[in-house]
Amino acid sequence: MPAPITVPLFCAASAAQGLDLPALLRSVVDSQRYMLGPRVQAFEEAFAAYVGVRHAIGVANGTDALELALRGLGLGPGQRVLTVANAGFYASTAIRAVGAEPVYAEIDDAMLTLAPAVLAEALAGQRLHAVVVTHMYGQLADMPAIAAQCKAAGVPLIEDCAQAHGARRDGRQAGAWGDIGCFSFYPTKNLGALGDGGALVTTDDALAARLRALRQYGWGTKYEVVHEGGRNSRLDELQAAVLEAKLPLLDEANARRRAIAARYGAAFAGLPLQAPLAQGEDYVAHLYVVRSTQREALRAHLSAQGIASDVHYPLPDHRQPVVADACAGVRLPLTEAACAQVLSLPCFLGMTDSQVEQVISVVADFHERVA
């Protein structure tokens, strides 16, 4: 049997990109600056320029970024935030953390992102105080339509870009369409750190100043708390140094992910699988997700052949035990069907051509056996 195919650890991916992490980390240690120092500032400036916005604010992780975005916009108890229910409960966690109410919208059945027609109906039919749009699996949502609808309705728009670093449409990056973009730099992300990390991006100067204060206790000046809802959520110098070094390599890495996805798409075209539709720059293949009515059997077959897979995500937000009673009346048939069928196949930087062919062969073999 060929060697098992599993997602590599961060260090292996970094080595594949030619990064000398020990030397980089040693330089930070030798500087004796570890929090909100020159490395963080340099990364924030570089990342803001890359996304095409005026400001980037480094924080501790992507979920904090979402929560701070909501707090920065003044969201709190009694307010309603629309989002999708197939995105792992991360936006729901942030919405609930500020005391607001998640309002779940149906997805587009093909792209698995927020459906613009559903958003239009929700904006017209109920009072919403914000919208969180998630770029699922590295697929940019239909931002021209979504951003235009939110702007016309006067409803703030937050982008959850945790899986979409570098996705763009018409030259405009994920994170540059809404009022605030939120990123995670968890090690497996397209732009990943050595541990947790995150960032908010915006072009609004006043909002950026508020977010910078909220990430550090709500301080106006040191030890003077002037903003309600502040917390300790700082990107550290070690993570910032790694991210700054990796940022210039992001587009090349995304191109490799996209090439793997394209090979899968061509090979699976004749199989009873629903595969990602996009192949352009609006898809950065953070995950390569197919839909199968025989998901568990296919997953077991892959495992038997030494190929790892995962489900992102098996349980829709409105069916999570913590909200099951409150959401008992919520019906999202397209979302529920997707969560019952999605399966993530290996797609990562450093994956070899022979490994890609191995996955293709095993998936094809499964469908020959069950045909």
Neighbours of 49 (CB within 10 A): 12
The answer on 321 and 215 residing in a single domain is: no
Same domain, 312 and 167: no
In a shared domain, residues 190 and 259: no
Q: Which pLDDT score is estimated for 126?
A: 86
Looking at the structure, do residues 284 and 195 belong to the same domain, yes or no?
Answer: no
Residues 176, 64 share a domain:
yes
Provide the CATH number for the domain around residue 76: 3.40.640.10
Copy the structure tokens of residue 365.
């073999």
Residue 2 lies in a domain: no
Task: Select from 217, 248, 279 the last residue of a domain.
Answer: 248
| 361 and 310 share one domain | yes
Residues 238 and 119 in one domain: yes
Render pLDDT for 309-331 as a digit per residue (tens, 0 to 9).
999 999 999 999 999 999 999 99
Per-residue pLDDT tens over the stretch 137-146: 999 999 999 9
| One domain, residues 243 and 264 | no
pLDDT single digits (tens) 4-57: 877 554 444 565 577 888 999 999 999 999 999 999 999 999 999 999 999 999
Inside any domain, residue 151? yes
The answer to whether residues 109 and 118 touch, using CB atoms and an 8 Å cutoff, is no
Q: Which domain holds residue 264?
A: 249-370
Integer Cα distance of 30 and 164 in angstroms: 33
Q: Is residue 59 part of a domain?
A: yes
What is the spatial distance between Cα 51 and Cα 218, in angstroms, rounded to a whole number?
26
Q: pLDDT (tens digit, 9 = 90+) per residue, 237-246?
A: 999 999 999 9
211 and 169 share one domain: yes
Helix or strand (DSSP H, E) at 360: helix 353-370
Q: What's the pLDDT band for 95 if we cut at 50, 70, 90? A: very high
Do 199 and 347 lie in a common domain?
Answer: no
Output the pTM of the full model.
0.96
Tell whether 4 is covered by a domain.
Answer: no
Last residue of a domain, one of 202, 218, 248: 248
Same domain, 163 and 286: no
191 token code pair: 């732009």
In a domain, 30, yes or no: yes
Query: Domain ends where: 248, 267, 290?
Result: 248
- Are residue 158 and residue 272 in the same domain, yes or no? no
pLDDT, average across residues 276-298:
94
Cβ distance 265 to 89 under 8 Å? no
Count of domains forming the chain: 2
CATH number of the domain to which 358 belongs: 3.90.1150.10
